[in-house]
A and B are shown apart, each in its own frame.
Chain A
């Protein structure tokens, strides 16, 4: 049996008296598409930060492909952060941002080979036409696609995405899912994605990780989407399609 791509064992994180995460344990197999779902403040981003090695757990451990996150080569991880961390006033072209996915440093000069690779990735995410535009002139949806191109250009074996659909229109979000699923199938990679889009997760994810400070459920979407679990996490179960933060249906 192959080792899990991502494995957490009783991971807990506290900020003062507040438990952001409490004893979170799960193992995502290689090739899994894991949608991380929960209300605001459920600890989803904290969990991703621990997995990426950006935040130390107070207790418990994380393994990526059997190794400690800080020992895992950054080149094997593609990360799409939340847009809110972006400083739009930084003087940069979209292409330069994508090239950081190759160089892992800000490029002083972009070589022809780097430009071609970055453009190919931007072509896949549908933003090659904005390659030489300043990032300050891009829409939220275009920026998300630029970040996605930056993530894909290094051909990672683990993709970690923090609300990549935020700022995208419905068609854009559907394109993003298809792109991720295609990439994942071709490269046998693993995807961890925070989303509020329950319908998208049900359709495209192989696993759902339902959170509320701790783990409420982990497994295939149809197994996790039990009424009592959804009630525990969201307080109620909706009777309508519930994308973009609405209540999910059992």
Chain B
């Protein structure tokens, strides 16, 4: 284990994994309680379109994927707010268009192949110092704006009550969706697009089974998210498995344990 820690790529992966684990599981508590699991999936596929555009333009994919995905997140809420369409329909439309754009962008890129697996499945080898800095800045911004937790939680509980208390619920919804979009993009290298929606759901779902308050749920979710990311990265290194899939399988195991523990707590 100490040998693994001596490699710079492993150090970067662990720091990146811990930061991504914190971010995905913190926002995951809202995703689970607001029943936005499909939103996570939609934003991950939107991120694919953004990353592919970045690759096509020969630039750092993250710089293109962050605004691209944030715009999609805003568009999803705007369509829900301004039309009679349900949110899952809106997500389904943007999901499909972004994925199609991503495939077209990659097909236009001559000689592209290498990074495709890293984007789709996650790869600890692909986490760069620049990726770490961006993820750290997003994590710092999340901590600095922690007061938003109370507003998002209130609107998650009851939008009407929150509106009656003069909370700007729609603005808060836009902000939350954009934050989730950014977090999804900066976590792609660790988890991969195909599995990032699961990372948004599994720690929050396990946390919900273990806690009777939203504060407790948030804390459990973050603790499970960070610990599963770090442990999953070690496992993937030693077993030579894709990092994203290993982390998600570990989280699924924790979820099953939480199911049993939650049942035992209720019956006890």
Contacts and interface: CB of A to CB of B under 8 A. Distances in A.
Contacts of A96: 213
B166 A90 contact: no
A106 B213 CA distance: 11
Interface centre among B149, B150, B164, B208 (most CB of A within 10 A): B164
B80 to A, nearest CB: 18
A104 interface: yes
Contacts of B213: 91-93, 96
Nearest to B207: A91
B211 A104 contact: no
A68 B111 CA distance: 63
B94 interface: no
A74 B166 contact: yes
Contact of B212 (A53, A74, A100, A134): A134
Contact of A79 (B154, B157, B164): B164
B252 to A, nearest CB: 21
Nearest to A71: B166
Interface string B56-99: 00000000000000000000000000000000000000000000
A109 B146 CA distance: 13
B151 interface: yes
B263 interface: no
B237 interface: no
B215 to A, nearest CB: 6
B235 interface: no
Interface centre among A53, A74, A89, A91 (most CB of B within 10 A): A91
Interface string A72-98: 001001010100011101111100110
Contact of B158 (A74, A77, A81, A89): A81
B156 interface: yes
A149 to B, nearest CB: 14
Given A74-B164, A74-B165, A79-B164, A85 B158 contact: yes
Interface in B29-78: 33
Contacts, number: 73
A58 interface: no
A85 B162 CA distance: 12
Interface in B146-176: 149-151, 153-154, 156-158, 160-161, 163-167
Main secondary structure of the interface of A (DSSP, over half): loop
A107 interface: yes
Contacts of A92: 157, 212-214
Contacts of B153: 105-106
A108 interface: yes
Interface string B214-240: 111100000000000000000000000
Chain B: interface size category = 20 to 34
A54 B217 contact: no
Given A74-B166, A77-B164, A106-B153, A91 B217 contact: yes
Interface string B103-122: 00000000000000000000
A52 to B, nearest CB: 5
B212 A105 contact: no
B211 A91 contact: yes
Contacts of A139: none
Contacts of B211: 91
A103 interface: yes
A85 B212 contact: no
Interface centre among B163, B213, B217 (most CB of A within 10 A): B213
A70 interface: yes
A91 B163 CA distance: 20
Interface in A110-148: 134
A79 B216 contact: no
A23 B215 CA distance: 45
B163 A54 contact: yes
16 contacts: A52-B164, A54-B160, A74-B166, A77-B164, A81-B160, A85-B160, A85-B161, A91-B208, A91-B216, A93-B213, A96-B213, A100-B157, A104-B167, A105-B151, A106-B149, A106-B156
Task: List 6 A-B pairs, minimum CB-CB distance, nearest first.
Answer: A106-B153, A105-B150, A104-B165, A106-B154, A74-B166, A74-B165
Interface of B: 33, 149-151, 153-154, 156-158, 160-161, 163-167, 208, 211-217
Given A74-B166, A91-B208, A91-B213, 18 more contacts: A53-B163, A53-B164, A54-B160, A77-B164, A79-B161, A81-B161, A81-B164, A90-B33, A91-B33, A91-B214, A92-B213, A103-B150, A104-B166, A106-B153, A106-B154, A106-B157, A108-B150, A108-B215
